[in-house]
Amino acid sequence: MEHHHREAIQKNYSTLVQECRINDLLPALLKKHVFSKQMIKKYKEIPDELKRKRELFLDIQTRGPQAFNNLVTSLNETGQSHLATRLDPTAASHASTRRQAHPFILPTNIEGTGFDPLEIQTLAQNTNNNISVTTEPLKVKVQYSTKFYDEDADVPTYSTHSKKRGAVLIINIIKYINDLQPERKGADVDSRNLTDLFLQMGFSVESHIDLTKNDIVDVVREFKSSPNIVGCDMVFVIVMGHGETEKCSDVAEVIGTDNETVSTRWIEEQFNNINCKALQNKPKIFMYQMCRGKIPDYGTVQDTIEMDSGVMSRASTMMILRSCSDMLIAHSTIPGTASHRDVYLGSWYMNIFCKIMMKRAHNTHLENIFKILDNKLARLRSARQTIQTSMFTNIGFQTCYVHPGIYLDGNEIKSIHDNSLPENNVDMEETS
């Protein structure tokens, strides 16, 4: 193997080990004679999957001059093109471009369905719905801030000026043991987009895939105690997988690879002011991409409903730190309903989030980001005409600007990446 090919593997070694679906990759490598049947058997007998992948990506560097190209091709063929592109940026141009069916499909039998074909056809042709039929993954390119927007704010706003802008924990459950749940095809795209987004913004990123219930618990506990979160401006905790809602409550649960669940409420409690003193008075954003039930949302006829309610408030005579505050909790869907995912582009919710963040986070605070996200989400329709509504909950959360790419050094604004004031690094094509 050529030296620059080995360097590419070594540079991306951590991502390959974390995100590669080795059980899909091994047959492809065997077919291309990169490894013998005996070697493939050796890898399969290693009980620890991470160790199995670590050994594979070390061994493959010794498998001859064609091993690298065969690895890249195999990754493309097994639906792991984001990893192939990391190793060889030209890999995407060699892969065949597939087109998915247009998401607007007229029912074959429309009698009694309530569908108006002309109305649906008009909706399908409406460019305001922003539905792409391409399978080309999102290319993340963040527009950097050039000033701090919290300094002139007239509402309580977090200070996000430090070079240690934040830490991100990503947990993505894609494949389940013994197929106890359907594979979440395309979910790997979300991990890649989110990692690229936050790295460009100046965050440290910790990403995990395919964890059991106990693994999720361990990873969350380790992250909340990690030195990476000490002194940072903010934290994102992003959990993706199949989900459900606790009986007799609206609390969502994420399903681990072993079909056991972890409550989202438990995850959030690990970062409250009692359990995570390092993040007291710091913004903590939780994002969940998962179903919260099995009911598809077909929408309804617009109606006007008014409701009034009054809440009595009591003034406190003591100034103490609340046990839970500074949290923004965002869900891809409302309780009881399903969430949508594209097998090529990733989930609707995370795809839109990444698009908006890379274009708008330089001058837009997070609550408005999530409002814009839901506005765009409302325009999407699946082939079955189902829709999706996101939601977020503010728990003592102030206005929060991410200020991607910059930090304050004394009185001087510098770039997180090269110590100079950044120029806007994307074209202002669309910022809405």
Catalytic residue positions? Answer: 242, 291
Q: In what order do the strands lie in the sheet with 234-240?
A: 204-209, 166-172, 234-240, 284-289, 327-331, 391-395
d(CA 353, CA 350): 5
3-state secondary structure of 393: strand
* Structure-block tokens of residue 62: 């010794």
- The CA-atom distances, in angstroms, between 358 and each of 106, 144, 169, 199, 402 are 34, 8, 18, 11, 11
* Structure-block tokens of residue 362: 């330089």
Within a 10 A sphere around the Cβ of 111, how many other Cβ atoms?
Answer: 6
3-state secondary structure of 36: coil
Inter-helix orientation angle 49-59/37-44, to 10°: 150
Q: How many residues does the chain have?
A: 432
d(CA 170, CA 283): 17
Give the contacts of 26 (CB within 8 A, at least 6 positions apart).
Answer: 35, 40, 43, 44, 56
d(CA 376, CA 378): 5
3-state secondary structure of 330: strand
- The CA-atom distances, in angstroms, between 61 and each of 18, 43, 184, 356, 392 are 18, 15, 30, 39, 46
Q: Which residue do the tokens 């708008």 mark?
A: 360
Within a 10 A sphere around the Cβ of 126, how many other Cβ atoms?
Answer: 12
Cα–Cα nearest to 220, from 237, 232, 205: 237
Q: Which residue do the tokens 């070694």 mark?
A: 13
